[in-house]
């Protein structure tokens, strides 16, 4: 009976050791996967930055203005200039300050 108990304990310890080794292998495998995904994410970020630079070059005025002139389109400023006021508008905005003195 004592031998059976020892064999049982050795069997349980062996199974536990194998389970620990299996989990360590899975953890290492997951670590490799995370590293691979990190590299892919870095490559994607670099590609996005490259495309942002390309877009800014394509949208830049040094490229757009010649195209607009070639197509004879009218350029409109992004921020409109304030409209010049004529004298009648200025007088209408001013309150009458001429008060008849008694």
pLDDT in tens, the chain (102 residues): 799 999 999 999 999 999 999 999 999 999 999 999 999 999 999 999 999 999 988 888 788 888 888 888 887 777 766 676 665 555 555 555 555 554
Cα gap 76→41, rounded to integer Å: 40
User: What pLDDT does residue 73 have?
Assistant: 86
Q: According to the model, what pLDDT value does residue 35 have?
A: 97
- What's the token pair of residue 7? 């064999």
Alpha-carbon span 43 to 20, nearest angstrom: 35
Q: Which residue has the tokens 């607009």?
A: 68
């Amino acid at each position: 009976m004592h031998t059976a108990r020892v064999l049982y304990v050795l069997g349980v310890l062996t199974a536990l050791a194998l389970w620990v080794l299996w989990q360590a292998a899975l953890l290492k495998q997951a670590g490799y996967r995370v590293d691979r995904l990190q590299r892919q994410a870095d490559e994607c970020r670099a590609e996005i930055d490259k495309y942002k630079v390309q877009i800014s070059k394509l949208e830049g005025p040094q490229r757009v203005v010649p195209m607009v002139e070639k197509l004879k389109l009218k350029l409109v400023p992004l921020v409109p200039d304030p409209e010049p006021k004529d004298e009648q508008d200025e007088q209408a905005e001013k309150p009458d300050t001429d008060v008849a003195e008694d």
